[in-house]
Amino acid sequence: MRTRVMLLSIPALGLMLGCAPSADSTLEENKALVRQYVDAYNSHDLGRLDDLMSPNFARRSQAAPELNSLEEFKADVGNGWEAFPDGHMEAHMMVAEGNLVAAYLTFAGTQEGAWGELPATGQRADLKFFYLFRVEGGKLAEMWAEWDNVSFLQQLGHFPESGT
């Protein structure tokens, strides 16, 4: 029995998600928005997010709760900063097509405070993750975020290592 693998390009994925190219921004402007978001995150500047993101911003993820407004997202980011005050995000690669920007990033930080119901451990974690952003009206409107939550929680001491 043969297994068929279907590969989708970012434009094809965009069409499936109902994302047509944006007439009011270029691919480089869209990537610049993502870089500005990373800079705002690293400088702990919630106010800048108002300029970069739509009020109806939504985050979709299997690894974290879905968020359906910029205010919910800002609260979540603020909680993350309290838990990981030295947290730093870095974008390594970005690809843009139409109104979508895919980014491969890393995060490193030490859990010095509670993160949701998880108490501080003082342990450092390094995380690799992907974002896919949709840009609308010159602002980040939607994000799909995926990472290996088990690995992240293991590094922080909240999840047993496999085999233990």
Instruction: Spell out the domain ranges in the chain.
Output: 21-156
Rg (CA), the chain: 17
Chain length of the chain: 164
The pLDDT profile of the chain, 164 residues, written as one tens digit per residue, is 444 544 545 555 554 455 554 444 699 999 999 999 999 999 999 999 999 999 999 999 998 999 999 999 999 999 999 999 999 999 999 999 999 999 999 999 999 999 999 999 999 999 999 999 999 999 999 999 999 999 999 999 998 876 65
Q: Selecting from 3.40.640.10, 3.40.50.1820, 3.40.50.970, 3.10.450.50, what CATH number does the domain 21-156 have?
A: 3.10.450.50
Nearest to 132, CA basis, from 148, 147, 122, 145: 145
Say if residues 107 and 38 touch (Cβ distance below 8 Å): no
With beta carbons less than 8 A apart as the criterion, state whether 113 and 121 touch. Answer: no
